[in-house]
Structure 1
Amino acid sequence: MPYEPPTHSVERSLRATTGAKIVAGVDEVGRGAWAGPVTICAAVTGLRRPPEGLTDSKLLTPKRRRALAGQLESWVTAHALGHASPEEIDELGMTAALRLAAVRALASLPVRPDAVILDGKHDYLGEPWRVRTVVKGDQSCVAVAAASVIAKVRRDAMMAELDADHAEFGFSDNAGYPSPVHRDALERLGPTPHHRLSWAYLDALPRWQHLKRPRLAAGGPEGPAGRGTAALEAGGQLGFEF
């Protein structure tokens, strides 16, 4: 399917208008999954020509994504991943979990970016970062597209590793997202420790509804303004490993 390759136009604009010398592209994967973390990659690419075929990870076949991710990890100037666990998503709500994962990724870069390009129209990162949001940035911006591919491949690999203990859920194929196999396993076996217990899928599983946790609204009593604040402010200091 034909597509317009991503460019450095947003990075060049930020350099010209703000004086930013180091610009990071940031993208997430796992937002709509039932299981697993939300994962964010921050990638710094400079203004070099990217590997051929770079685009939004969702437009690539799994085989092409994996091959391109291998190229990108050695091509980018710097990149880092940040995760927010299912427990943190349940506790903080998704918006705050995205910020937590993004702060972890940015804090893990060897250099602090002067500006950040976020895919989408919502700035979930906020101060003190200088943020430019770009709708479909994973298709139009080189740094965001690179982050998109790396994040998707790395999170898919993490979810595939869970198959050793949870093969019935099909994590190697669905990466924790909704699927008939995933739903059938949930109905028979209930959620694993890797599932988000505030998600609506539990409403359709009467046998397991008692496990459901309240889903938090952004800024609610247990969200960014409440007991999740310490975890959010700690950012890169809080580790999470898979």
Structure 2
Amino acid sequence: MKNKLTDTSDFSYNQIEEMLRNKGCQFICGVDEVGRGPLAGPVVAAAVILPEDLELDGLDDSKKLSPVRRNKIFEQIINSDTICAIGIIDNESIDKINILKASLMAMRKAVMDLKKAPDFVIVDGTFPIPKLDYPQFAVVKGDSRCRSIAAASVVAKVTRDRIMEKYDAMYPGFSFSKHKGYPTAEHIEELRREGPCDIHRKSFKPVAEILNQYALF
């Protein structure tokens, strides 16, 4: 099977997974990542194999869910028979290899850390995961088209948010529990006032520009 579905426009929600089950795939793994855009913190990926009979009310792309709904679905997932693993790549590695490679690395790590080998992997986005030992394809906007990818997006998002909330206590000059490292006006102002901290991505333009300004003094 090809690594990418070039046209999924005719597939409604869950039809991709139904197609795979009809081809004999029992353990279908959805993969998504969170944290490509922030100026600070890690990129986090989740790989999720959902039980076919698990009901998750309101499941959708994590970006479309309220924090309360996300956390409720997250708890349902981790307290069920769902097979789940996380991949985390820190800001220093992101600076070394770039955010795209770091995102794909996090996704590969998540899949390879699963306790059960998947029959097939479906990845949110445009790019399949490099050097993966399992058949796969990438699905554009998969987090709003595939149940298992949507679940992975929730797990990745809640996991990363909780990491950033811990950083909030470690770096009191930054409101990481609020903006989660994303380039909000508040975060940019904090950067200008405090200078970058240890978890900032120095290769990202706003951070690099402020570092250059500090180097002038």
User: Where on the TM-score scale, by shorter chain, does this alignment land: which range?
Assistant: 0.7 to 0.9
Task: Write out aligned runs for 1:211-226 (5 A).
Answer: none
The secondary structure found in structure 2 opposite 1:168 is coil
CA distances 1:107-165 after superposition (whole Å, capped 9, x unpaired): 22111112111111222445433112112211121101111111111110110111112
Partner of 1:43: 48
Partner of 1:77: 82
Output the TM-score relative to the length of structure 2: 0.86
CA distances 1:188-212 after superposition (whole Å, capped 9, x unpaired): 22111111111011354242468xx
The secondary structure found in structure 2 opposite 1:75 is coil
The secondary structure found in structure 2 opposite 1:70 is helix
- Structure 2: which 5+ runs fail to align? 1-11
For 2:213 and 2:193, how far apart are their aligned partners in 1? 9
The secondary structure found in structure 2 opposite 1:81 is strand
% of aligned pairs identical? 37
- Structure 1: which 5+ runs fail to align? 1-5, 211-242
For 1:172 and 1:184, how far apart are their aligned partners in 2? 16
Task: Write out aligned runs for 1:1-242 (5 A).
Answer: 7-17=13-23, 19-205=24-210, 206-208=212-214
For 2:56 and 2:142, how far apart are their aligned partners in 1? 17
Output the TM-score relative to the length of structure 1: 0.78
Q: What code does the residue aligned with 1:198 have?
A: S
Q: Do the aligned residues in 2 keep the contact of 1:119 with 1:138 (CA within 8 Å)?
A: yes
Q: Do the aligned residues in 2 keep the contact of 1:26 with 1:102 (CA within 8 Å)?
A: yes
For 2:206 and 2:84, how far apart are their aligned partners in 1? 33
Offset, 1:21: 2.6
**Could you say which structure has the greater relative contact order, defined with CA pairs below 8 angstroms and 6 or more residues apart?**
2
Q: CA RMSD in A?
A: 1.9
Counting matched residue pairs gives 204
